Chain A
Amino acid sequence: MVEVVKKGGDTLLDIRNLRIEATVYPPGESPKNIVLVHDVSLTLEKGKVLGLIGESGAGKSTIGLSSMGYGRGGVRITGGEVILNGRDILKGGKEGFRKLRGREVCYVAQSAAAAFNPAHRLMDQVVEATLLHGTATRAEAEKRAVALFKKLSLPNPETIGERFPHQVSGGQLQRVMTAMALCSEPDLIVFDEPTTALDVTTQIDVLAAIKDAIRDTHVAALYITHDLAVVAQVSDEIMVLRHGRLVEWGGTRQIIKEPRQEYTKALVSMHDIEHAEQKPGATPLLSVRNVTAAYGGGCIKVLKNVSVDIYPGQTLAVVGESGSGKSTLARAITGLLPPEQGTVTFDGRPLANRLADRPKEDLRQLQMIYQMADVAMNPRQTVGTIIGRPLELYFGIKGRERDKRVAELLDAIEMGKGFSDRYPAELSGGQKQRVCIARSLAAKPKLIICDEVTSALDPLVANGILKLLLNLQQHEKVAYLFITHDFATVRSIADSIGVMYRGEVVRYGAKSKVLMPPFDAYTGLLLSSVPEMRPGWLDEIRSSVTAGFAKMAEMSDEGISLASGH
């Protein structure tokens, strides 16, 4: 063993050569051993925040949980040391882990809604760890909890603890969970994607609350996320991980401004797609006029008087948060949800309301790509069949001619023709989405509706898909209706933008105009809520966002509830 010299006296966490393995049980096969984390080392000083970043499968959550001696499922630590407050916690055994968890290290999960026990009141759960470890009396702990609720700007801090988890919104629960972690005054908190499941305007609120709480309580934190812009706001240092290995580790400013590794550079420069806005043509390709649509036989209005235009070969991005009606707009245009009122005109002719009444030619010219590529393809069909079917159906192309076209299409989506015999299950997430794109291209459509096509993908893969879509637009002159919740994506690809909020289009026009002040209250809030990849952004925009919330509260009869989720 080599003697490792300790870095100063204030090192809180020192992980050395960590190796983590797991046993997986694929159904119908014998159990397999896989390595999740290879030889990762890190140190964290007291009161500092280290961001762990990487795409899915990078091992970031696994490393975070190892600081509590915890492994999910069959996950176990098979090598290295985890030194917390000067002692190797891996040597403490089960009893040691129990003493450490909830006292020295606390955990904030991604989905607070699932992480709170539905059977108990919030307060009981918030003070549970404190009482368990006997660091305070119940009265003290509850007082502390209420103070934390206030600090995290939860509504009704005195009484919110009386509530059950299902009585509180998602954004609020996430803050209650943070209070729960802080309540036992730990040395370290592991934040595991605490804002990922939230809408962007809710996220900024929770993020700010977390940041304040960390600063005021001087707790150290491991902040795990896949979003570099988010982690840049809260952490002092950033560690980039990939496939369970360390890629790069440095100060936040260095990682963001001067990344050294290729992978980090790619992550940082992700939104570098330049797409010059095109001027709208003379006549729109698709024209939506005063469309109103509802679910449940007219009971729940989800689209109210929506009008937008899409010009040939251009992209309209429709952006909004969950429940804004943006996906419903796609369903109304495709005829899956026939509008109650209003018209949809395509290429100069009115489109029938119901899908069943539309001629094949209309169906061909209007294609759709879905968010979840793996359920958008029949798992029992090969890639060749999937891409070839529109050729057969619309153009009657069969046999060798069809195979040739399929090969060309596979080429167009930057995949080889060898893929045509594969099944969807054999493809990666990005490849699946590419095949879906090829399937829609096969129909030679004039318009493709892209419904959140990149949101289920890792950032770099998503970026590749966006580039591909832009390329194809240039060659095929196809128009896109691009539905997304992500403003960064909108900036990269749109020619015009529609912002949706509660079933209405609140702002609509050319990209340059929509993104140019003065903004309406909602768009302003939405735009300022999108995390930017530079340290200090959160502190700068805090005041404007707070003002935005106030303005929205005036506008909306449901008050601040917008800010705190649903």
Chain B
Amino acid sequence: MLDIKRIPIPALIGIILTALFVLAAVFAPWIAPHGNGEIVGDVWEPMSAAHLLGTDNLGRDLLSRMIYGARITLFIAVLATVLSFSLGAILGFSAAVFGGWFDTLLSRLVDLLMSIPTLIMGLVVLSVLPTNLVTLILVMGILDSTRVYRLSRAVAVDINVMDYVEAAKLRGEGSGWIIFREILPNALSPLVSELGLRFIYAVLFLSTLSFLGLGVQPPDADWGGMVKENKDGIVFGIAAALIPAAAIAALAISVNLVADWILNRTTSLKGGRG
């Protein structure tokens, strides 16, 4: 199917880096040299052979916390993306296929939700909701599903008016065949690429919330939370906070590279999206 040699280098880098992050997250307890909350040395020790990335604001091994942090970051971001994606895509497709008042109502609601910046709406809601993982995932997933809704509705509406879908209707195909055999295969590629972008957005959104102290709560920490923990060191010239921040950027760029490549592959297939 896919020839590895034909994957462009940026995409390859993206794939490899993303895979590394995922592996670190999955096998965190086996890879991390120390425990997540284990205090192993002085506060903000510099990088050394014993502590490859140094220690954090409480004297915990930064590398170990980064690895565990990957786990929490990816876990929440993945679940939020899955939620936003399934919610947005199902509603978007339904709106496109059924139309009528269902479509109008949903679309207006989404317009309304999108007329408030996501972060602001998130902060408003989080001011009354209990701070835990479930709330976080729900808030992130639901707020972000509006974008997925818009895209999947637009894609499905585009495809639904294509002549080949009309031909299938004229042939007498049932709605099952039309949705799963005619529309879905053609909607998949733009949606998969959007999946990548939504995931990046989830990572950035989660990190921002945690950085503001409204996301993952201590003693657990995702990368955004770790930036918050170590940010006071910056004024003393201690770069510990920059490391998790850079990790977020690296993850986002890698996924972006992969998503870009998928999107390009899609558009290069003539008529792939129509």
- Please tell me whether chains A and B touch each other in their complex, using a CB distance cut-off of 8 A: yes
Binding site for B on A (CB under 8 A): 26-29, 334, 336, 355, 358, 360, 363-364, 367-368, 370, 372, 374-381, 389-390, 393, 424-425, 439, 443
- With beta carbons under 8 angstroms apart, the residue of B172, B181, B185, B269 that contacts A360 is B172
Do A393 and B164 contact each other (CB < 8 Å), given the known contacts A27-B267, A378-B185?
no
Given A28-B265, A360-B172, the answer on whether A379 and B167 have CB atoms closer than 8 Å is no
From residue 145 to 180 of chain B, which have CB atoms closer than 8 A to chain A? Answer: 162-164, 166-173
- Taking CB atoms and an 8 Å cut-off, the chain B residues in 232-274 that contact chain A are 261, 264-265, 267-272, 274
When distances are taken between beta carbons in the complex, the residues of chain A under 8 Å from B166 are 336
Known A28-B264, A336-B166, A372-B163; contact A393-B171, beta-carbon cutoff 8 A: yes
Q: Does B118 contact A (CB under 8 A)?
A: no
Residue contact A374 to B171, C-beta cutoff 8 Å: no
- Asked whether A379 lies within 8 Å of B268 as measured between CB atoms, the reply is no
Task: Tell me, rounded to whole Å, the shortest Cβ–Cβ distance linking B1 to chain A.
Answer: 14
Which listed residue (A29, A375, A393) contacts B172, Cβ 8 A?
Answer: A393
B182 at the A interface (CB under 8 A):
yes
A379 near B271 (CB under 8 angstroms)?
yes
**Which residue of chain B is the closest to A368 with respect to CB atoms?**
B170
- Residue of B with least CB distance to A334: B170
Task: Give 22 pairs: A residue, B residue, CB < 8 Å, sorted on A.
Answer: A26-B268, A27-B264, A28-B265, A28-B267, A334-B170, A355-B170, A363-B170, A364-B172, A368-B167, A374-B271, A375-B162, A375-B164, A375-B271, A376-B163, A379-B269, A379-B271, A379-B272, A379-B274, A390-B171, A393-B173, A425-B271, A443-B171
Identify whether the interface residues of B are mostly helix, strand, loop, or mixed. helix
How big is the B interface, by class? 20 to 34
Q: Is the CB of B185 within 8 A of A380?
A: yes
Cα-based distance from A374 to B162 in the complex (angstroms) = 10
A439, B272: Cα distance in complex, Å? 20
Name which residue of chain B comes closest to A439, CB basis: B167
**A329 CB, nearest partner CB in chain B, Å:** 15
> B100 at the A/B interface (Cβ < 8 Å)?
no
Q: With the chains together, A377 CA to B271 CA distance in Å?
A: 10
Q: Assuming the A-B contacts A379-B270, A379-B272, A393-B173, are A370 and B264 also in contact, with contact meaning beta carbons closer than 8 angstroms in the complex?
A: no
Mark each residue of chain B from 8 to 20: 1 if its CB lies under 8 Å from any CB of chain A, else 0: 1000000000000
Q: Does B186 contact A (CB under 8 A)?
A: yes
A375: nearest chain-B partner, CB-CB: B163
Residues of chain B within 8 A (CB-CB) of A26 are 268
Nearest chain A CB to B6 CB, angstrom units: 9
| B170 engages A29 (CB within 8 Å) | no
Q: How far does the alpha carbon of A379 sit from the alpha carbon of B270 in the complex, in Å?
A: 8
The distance from the CB of A365 to the nearest CB of chain B, in whole angstroms, is 11
Across the two chains, which residue of chain A brings its CB closest to B274? A375
CA distance A378 to B171 in the complex (A): 14
Please state if A378 and B264 are interface contacts (CB–CB under 8 Å): no
The reply to whether A28 and B172 form a contact with Cβ atoms under 8 Å apart is: no
| A368→B172 CA distance, assembly (Å) | 12
User: Besides A379-B269, A380-B185, 12 other CB < 8 A contacts?
Assistant: A28-B8, A28-B261, A355-B169, A355-B170, A374-B270, A375-B162, A378-B182, A379-B272, A379-B274, A381-B181, A425-B270, A439-B167
Contact B264 A363 (CB under 8 A): no
Question: Which 3 A-B pairs rank lowest in CB-CB distance, beginning with the nearest?
Answer: A28-B264, A380-B185, A376-B163
Most chain-A CB neighbours within 10 Å: which of B171, B186, B272?
Answer: B171
Given known contacts A334-B170, A389-B171, A393-B173, is B268 in contact with A424 (CB within 8 Å)? no
Given the complex, which residues of A lie within 8 Å of B169, measured CB to CB? 336, 355
Taking CB as reference atom, which chain B residue is nearest A26? B268
Bound CA span A368–B8, Å: 42
